[in-house]
A and B are shown apart, each in its own frame.
Chain A
Amino acid sequence: MSAFKPLHKPGQAKPQVKSWGPADAVDEETHLTKDIGELDRDHPGWDRRSKVLAARRLLKEPGMEEAVVRGIYGKAIVEEALAAEGLPAGGLASS
Chain B
Amino acid sequence: MEDRIFEMVQGDLFRTPLWLWTLPLGEHRFVPSWGKGTVTWLTQKVGATEVKLPSGFSFWSSWSFAVCTAKEERSQRDLWRALMREDSPTPLDWLVLLFNVPEPCALRVRVGKHGTIDYRLIVHDSDGPLAHASREVSLPHGQAEHHLLTIIGQGRGKGLGAQIVANAIALYRRLSVSELYLTAGLSAGGAVWGKFGYRPVDPMAWRGVKRTVRRRLAAVGANDRAAYRLRYGVSLEKTVAALLRLSDPRTLWDILDLDPDKVVQLGGSGRGLGGFLLQGTRWRAILDLQDPEAERRLRDYVETKIPGSLPPGW
Distance in angstroms from A14 CB to nearest chain B CB is 8
Distance in angstroms from B272 CB to nearest chain A CB is 12
With an 8 A cutoff between CB atoms, is B253 at the interface?
yes
Q: Please, how many angstroms separate the alpha-carbon atoms of A28 and B194 in the complex?
A: 31
Given contacts A3-B67, A54-B293, contact A31 B257 (CB under 8 A): no
Q: Please, how many angstroms separate the alpha-carbon atoms of A31 and B174 in the complex?
A: 17
With an 8 A cutoff between CB atoms, is B56 at the interface?
yes
Once the chains bind, are B73 and A47 in contact (CB under 8 Å)? no
With an 8 A cutoff between CB atoms, is A43 at the interface?
no
Write out, one digit per residue, whether chain A residues 32-67 have a CB within 8 A of any chain B CB (1) or not (0): 110011000000000111110110011001011101
Once the chains bind, are B10 and A17 in contact (CB under 8 Å)? no
With an 8 A cutoff between CB atoms, is A90 at the interface?
no
Once the chains bind, are B12 and A72 in contact (CB under 8 Å)? no
With an 8 A cutoff between CB atoms, is B114 at the interface?
no
- Of the residues A2, A15, A68, contact of B242 by C-beta under 8 Å: A68
Q: Please, how many angstroms separate the alpha-carbon atoms of A19 and B170 in the complex?
A: 10
Across the interface, name the chain B residue whose C-beta is closest to A53. B293
Q: Please, how many angstroms separate the alpha-carbon atoms of A37 and B176 in the complex?
A: 22
Distance in angstroms from B163 CB to nearest chain A CB is 12
Write out, one digit per residue, whether chain A residues 1-13 have a CB within 8 A of any chain B CB (1) or not (0): 0111111100000
Once the chains bind, are A32 and B314 in contact (CB under 8 Å)? yes
Once the chains bind, are B234 and A71 in contact (CB under 8 Å)? yes
Contacts of B95 in A (CB 8 A): 15, 17
Distance in angstroms from A85 CB to nearest chain B CB is 15
Given contacts A53-B296, A54-B257, contact A68 B8 (CB under 8 A): no
Contacts of B243 in A (CB 8 A): 68, 72
Q: Please, how many angstroms separate the alpha-carbon atoms of A72 and B89 in the complex?
A: 41
- How many A residues, CB 8 Å from partner? 41
Contacts of B245 in A (CB 8 A): 63
With an 8 A cutoff between CB atoms, is B310 at the interface?
yes
- How many B residues, CB 8 Å from partner? 62
Once the chains bind, are B310 and A36 in contact (CB under 8 Å)? yes
Once the chains bind, are B311 and A17 in contact (CB under 8 Å)? yes
Once the chains bind, are B92 and A17 in contact (CB under 8 Å)? yes
Chain B contacts with A in 223-268, Cβ cutoff 8 A? 228, 232-234, 236, 238-239, 242-243, 245-246, 248, 250, 253-254, 257-261
Write out, one digit per residue, whether chain B residues 97-108 have a CB within 8 A of any chain A CB (1) or not (0): 011000000000
Chain B contacts with A in 82-122, Cβ cutoff 8 A? 89, 92-93, 95-96, 98-99
Contacts of B261 in A (CB 8 A): 74
Once the chains bind, are B233 and A47 in contact (CB under 8 Å)? no
Q: Please, how many angstroms separate the alpha-carbon atoms of A19 and B313 in the complex?
A: 6
Contacts of A32 in B (CB 8 A): 308, 310, 314
- Choose the segment among B23-31, B40-48, B128-136, B298-306 that binds chain A (4+ C-beta atoms closer than 8 Å): B298-306
Question: Can you list 10 pairs linking A and B with CB atoms under 8 Å apart?
Answer: A3-B68, A4-B67, A17-B93, A17-B96, A32-B308, A50-B293, A50-B297, A54-B293, A57-B293, A72-B258
With contacts A15-B9, A71-B228 known, what are 13 further pairs, Cβ within 8 A? Answer: A2-B52, A3-B72, A5-B10, A7-B56, A20-B174, A21-B313, A32-B314, A36-B310, A49-B296, A50-B253, A53-B297, A54-B254, A70-B232
Those 4 A-B pairs whose CB atoms lie nearest each other, nearest first: A7-B11, A19-B312, A71-B232, A50-B297
Residue numbers of A with Cβ under 8 A of B are 2-8, 15, 17-21, 26, 30-33, 36-37, 47-51, 53-54, 57-58, 61, 63-65, 67-68, 70-74, 77
